[in-house]
Amino acid sequence: MSKNIVMVGAGVANVNAATKLVDNNFEGTITIIDMGKDPYVRPYEEVMTGFLGAGGWSDGKLTYHTAIGGQLSKYCGEDKAMELMDQVITNFKRFHPKPEEVQCSDPQLEPDFIKPYFGLRLFPVWHVGTDYLHEIGKNWYDYLVSKGVKFVWETKVTDIDFDNQMVMCGEFGDKYDELIFGVGKSGIDFGKKLAEKYDLPTEPKSVQIGVRFEAPQHHFQKLIDISYDFKLYRKFEDKGVSLRSFCTNNNAAYVAVEETYGDHSYNGHARKDEAYRNNMTNFGILMEIKNIEDPFEWSRNVVNKLQNNNTGLYYSPSREPSTTSEGINVEASTINWLDLVKVINAFEGYFEYIVDFIDDMKKVFPTLKDDWGIYIPEVKYLSPEPLVDYTNLALTKYPNVHFVGDALSARGISVSGAHGIFVAEDLLKS
């Protein structure tokens, strides 16, 4: 019997799933519904929606390691995970107008000067680049259309009836035999709503919280020369806490305010244009804390306690907050060392890990001294991860509904794409 597969979201995960299916002469129908636009008309400001989803308008850094980008090897084991990520990277090169221009950075050795204070995660990263991603998107889209995949654009899926196998877009419904749910971060609330409505069992999650650290770049140049987006890490297994530097931005590096659930937290981004060069470096110092009973509520409470005058906090022993790339001050209430007591209390004993991390960076990067500042807090609210059958990422309660990509447990392009291919391989078997 030929199957009718409906995919919600035309992001990285589902585009890779559809590609795997059509490459293997899948005989059923494939319909992909997305609230965004096709790659020919998708405008620059629509960062999260449309063909290839958030991945299509991203920096295009394809990481190649199972410890980066969310969970994959948990489901399929290390070897299979690497093989799936290989397939994703091959797909990006396959539709690239100049595949020879995809560069791979692959640092091999942890430098001695960071030891014994930190470990450095070493892994290959393929750099595609935003501009090429747009061209890849068009080539990839044309291929899928030529193979009979039906796309429904600018259509928001508003509900899914798992019992009657119907995808609802307002009053219109579409019947499915198999559903692949890949709504990414832009669909985080939708996924949560469905999990509550169907009382889906979920996996326990950890807290991800910390600060955004900022300093002049020259203090870190020695490490940046080895690994541009360096990932320093340390673990306290017995305490259930690990820390890592996260999302490093250099050269033209700016701190950005994020607003979630009405509170402010911080993140960072880098501009490519030389006109924006400020010779700064910023990165998150993020703690992963296990064993907190309700990680989501706990994180929201901590973030809420760290607000002042409707924004987050800035502390530095010597510096002023920086400006955004538009030249205005990063919104933050500057606090002095006495006010740090409030921060320490809000973090309920975990802030000392961040203080130690910074103290040890001062040992490893001796020019750093007091020439740094922190924006408080940085937080990653991880979406509740529904419990799935590890062999095909199908909901334990609804075996023909598969969750993939950021809607499941991914946090990056290669892992999201790999989820999609993993599900497609299972569908091809059946």
- Pure H helices in 147-260: 188-197, 221-224
Residue 424 found at the interface with ligand FAD (CB under 6 A): no
The DSSP output letter for 337 is G
Helix, strand, coil fractions of the chain, as percent rounded to 5 = 35, 30, 40
Residue 36 found at the interface with ligand FAD (CB under 6 A): yes
Residue 259 CB, shortest distance to ligand FAD, in Å, is 15
Residue 177 CB, shortest distance to ligand FAD, in Å, is 19
> And the tokens for 426?
């299972």
Within a 10 A sphere around the Cβ of 18, how many other Cβ atoms?
Answer: 26
CB nearer to ligand FAD: give 306 or 418.
418
CB nearer to ligand FAD: give 234 or 269.
269
CB nearer to ligand FAD: give 207 or 415.
415
Question: According to CB under 6 A, which one of 32, 85, 343, 410 is a site residue for ligand FAD?
Answer: 410
- C-alpha 50/C-alpha 55 separation (Å) is 10
Residue 258: closest CA among 351, 178, 340, 332: 332
Is there a contact between 176 and 4 (Cβ–Cβ < 8 Å)? yes
Residue 166 found at the interface with ligand FAD (CB under 6 A): no
CB nearer to ligand FAD: give 27 or 273.
273
Question: According to CB under 6 A, which one of 94, 185, 222, 319 is a site residue for ligand FAD?
Answer: 185
Residue 373 found at the interface with ligand FAD (CB under 6 A): no
> What's the residue count for the chain?
430
Is there a contact between 48 and 66 (Cβ–Cβ < 8 Å)? no
Residue 386 found at the interface with ligand FAD (CB under 6 A): no
The type of residue at 376 is I
Whether residue 216 is preceded by a cis peptide bond, meaning omega within 30 degrees of 0, is no
CB nearer to ligand FAD: give 8 or 280.
8
Find all residues with CB under 8 Å of 233, minimum gap 6, and list them.
118, 119, 120, 121, 242, 243, 244, 245
Interface of this chain with ligand FAD, residues 15 to 34, rule: CB under 6 A? 33-34
Site track 50-69 with ligand FAD (rule: CB under 6 A), x = hit = x--xxx--xxxx-x-----x
Q: How far does CA 130 lie from the centroid of its chain?
A: 16
Residue 157 found at the interface with ligand FAD (CB under 6 A): yes
Q: Contact positions toward ligand FAD, by CB under 6 A?
A: 8-14, 33-36, 47-50, 53-55, 58-61, 63, 69, 156-157, 182-187, 190, 405-407, 410-413, 416
